[in-house]
Amino acid sequence: MNKVRLDIMALSHSVTQSHNYAVVLGEENGKRRLPIVIGGFEAQAIAVALENMTPNRPLTHDLFKNTLDAYEIDVKEVIINNLLDGIFYAQLICEQDGNIMQIDARTSDAISMAVRYGCPIYTFDFIMESAGVLLDEEVEPTQKKVPTRPKTTSIEDMNLLSLEKLLDEALQKEDYEKAAQIRDIISSKKTGDS
């Protein structure tokens, strides 16, 4: 089976399922996209890693990475290896002292670990053929800016100093979804000023 390398293209609210998110993976050097519906907590774990946020206490995925690192286990790649009844299955491909191990994982957890390790994400052609969609227009992958909930007008009208204070408060409360939203607004205001 041919492996297909994927990049994270977007993380946004799911159009088909309310209270859920979709992570959209794009075929490297191709136009096929693989949308995967995930929960809010899972989306938050991915967004925190994409945004390089450092929470006050480690999230579960950070704890798992720290544990693997302590035992000198490296995640080399993630493979979305199956699709059964609309559910994606994944594996972490790990290495320790030259030994390769495969660890089964939920796809959202596997993607979250891939972002933390900076390792590639793969799937197989049969999965892209059955669940992938073909886009006519080219979309650049994002490893930084992750669309979240729509921004409220009142937050967008705040000045940079107030926004930075609000960002600190959101991080203190470990409200990473709101923090990512505020960070996006700050970033757009800074680029708009230059």
Assign 136 a pLDDT band (cuts: 50, 70, 90).
low
Q: What is the pLDDT of residues 144-161, one digit of tens each?
A: 333 333 333 367 767 777
Stretch (H or E) spanning 161 = helix 160-172
Structure pTM? 0.69
Structural domains of the chain ordered from first start: 3-134 (3.10.690.10), 153-193 (no CATH)
% residues pLDDT > 70 (the chain): 86
Q: What is the pLDDT of residues 110-134, one digit of tens each?
A: 999 999 999 999 999 999 999 999 8
> What b/e sequence results for 67-80 when a residue is b if at least 16 CB atoms lie within 10 Å of its CB, and e otherwise?
ebeeeebebebbbb
DSSP 74-118: EEEEEEEEEEETTEEEEEEEEEETTEEEEEEEEHHHHHHHHHHHT
